[in-house]
Amino acid sequence: MAETIPHLDLADFTSGDEKARRDFATRLVGALEQCGFITLEGHAVDAALIARSYEMAEAFFNLPEAEKRTYAGGLRGYTPFGREHAKDMTVPDLKEFWQIGYEAHAGADQNVWPDRPVDFREVFGALFEALESTGRQLLSAIAIGLEIEPEYFEDRVPDGTSLLRLIHYPPVPENADPKSVRAAAHEDINLITLLVAAQGAGLEIFTREGKWLPVNNQPAHLVVDTGDMMARITNGRLSATTHRVVNPAGPNVSRYSMPFFVQPREDVMLECLTSCGGSGDSPEPLTTGDFLNQRLVEIGLKK
């Protein structure tokens, strides 16, 4: 594998003719097979909106701890520092975060919104919509590349369990456990993740060759990777790539990140696609809700 992850232009899919769309779909699936990660330009997530979102996130996380904790207690809203840990890890990640889902979500989890900063709901509602739209375009391309009906994911993802997570990695505390890092090595749970270019270095992926590779991308690009749900339905063809966020090697300053986790509705069955050899040794079918609950327990977000 090269020392950089594959880069694609989504405009080849959204603005191209039928051949260009199929070529993009083939290259996308091939890149995800090869690496599990890509960087992406040509998307419709506005740069000014991204900049405003980071300003808003910094303003929120700078609020007093007691005020932030008034919004804690569920999967939506605020999760305090040191609450989440990677699967199979006993020490916590060095982060705090806020999660936003579909407003019309029919499940038990509903969005909560802080009183301040002003315009928080408006800004992150717009960012959620822009990333959700881009995610659905990518899933349509993946479906074409996997030779299944293009609407396969379109019938399963809208009004589902997708989440936008605003992450703050504060300066590493002096009394932090020596084994704790900002985000320990893990694989994402979902179908795909769209990551707005982070403010600050630290993201690394574990390559197929067994080396840690820093992810460097332009501010206007998205980083996209496949998660465990995608690995499950493709029988490992699009496997989830292990990644981490390491502690700063230079100045011990805050880092902000905004991943969007694309996930189906809770009742959708995660079953292996026939085009990916869905028989024999393929994983046993499981609902999205059951899969999520199992993983949320394993990472400390549910009991």
Nearest to 88 by CA among 234, 242, 282: 242
* Location of structure tokens 């809770």: 266
Of 8-12, 27-31, 46-50, 276-280, give the lowest mean pLDDT range: 276-280
DSSP one-letter code for 241: P
Sign of the C-alpha dihedral computed for residues 278, 284, 289 and 292 taken in this order? negative
Cα–Cα–Cα angle for 52, 54, 59, nearest 5°? 95
What is the Cα–Cα distance from 255 to 145, expressed in whole angstroms? 35
Is the model more confident about 199 or about 265?
265
Helix (H, G, I), strand (E, B) or coil at 18: helix
**Residue 236 confidence (pLDDT) above 70:** yes
Task: Report yes or no: 231 and 268 within 8 Å, Cβ to Cβ.
Answer: no
pLDDT digits (tens, 9 = 90+) for 87-109: 888 899 999 999 999 986 555 67
pLDDT digits (tens, 9 = 90+) for 145-163: 999 998 999 999 998 999 9
**Burial (0-12, 13-18, 19+ Cβ within 10 Å), 62:** exposed
What is the Cα–Cα distance from 226 to 138, expressed in whole angstroms? 11
pLDDT-based confidence at residue 274 (cuts at 50, 70, 90): confident
206, two tokens: 């574990």
Of 50-59, 79-88, 92-101, 252-261, give the lowest mean pLDDT range: 79-88
Element (H, E) at 215: none
Give mean pLDDT, residues 233-246.
95
Sign of the C-alpha dihedral computed for residues 67, 94, 295 and 232 taken in this order? positive
Nearest to 12 by CA among 144, 130, 131: 144
What fold is seen in the domain 7-298? Answer: Jelly Rolls (2.60.120)
Please, what is the average pLDDT of the chain? 92
* Location of structure tokens 């975060």: 97
Task: Report yes or no: 247 and 94 within 8 Å, Cβ to Cβ.
Answer: yes
pLDDT-based confidence at residue 1 (cuts at 50, 70, 90): very low
Task: Report yes or no: 170 and 65 within 8 Å, Cβ to Cβ.
Answer: no
What is the Cα–Cα distance from 97 to 122, expressed in whole angstroms? 18
Give mean pLDDT, residues 50-64.
97
pLDDT score for 108: 63
pLDDT digits (tens, 9 = 90+) for 156-212: 999 899 999 999 999 999 998 989 999 999 999 999 999 998 788 899 999 988 999
Task: Report yes or no: 194 and 139 within 8 Å, Cβ to Cβ.
Answer: no
Is the model more confident about 105 or about 56?
56
Sign of the C-alpha dihedral computed for residues 77, 290, 303 and 203 taken in this order? negative
What is the Cα–Cα distance from 50 to 45, expressed in whole angstroms? 7
Cβ-proximal residues to 18 (8 Å cutoff; 6+ apart), any chain: none
Cα–Cα–Cα angle for 27, 131, 201, nearest 5°? 80
The pairing of strands 286-287 and 243-245 is unpaired
DSSP one-letter code for 88: T
50, two tokens: 């991204």
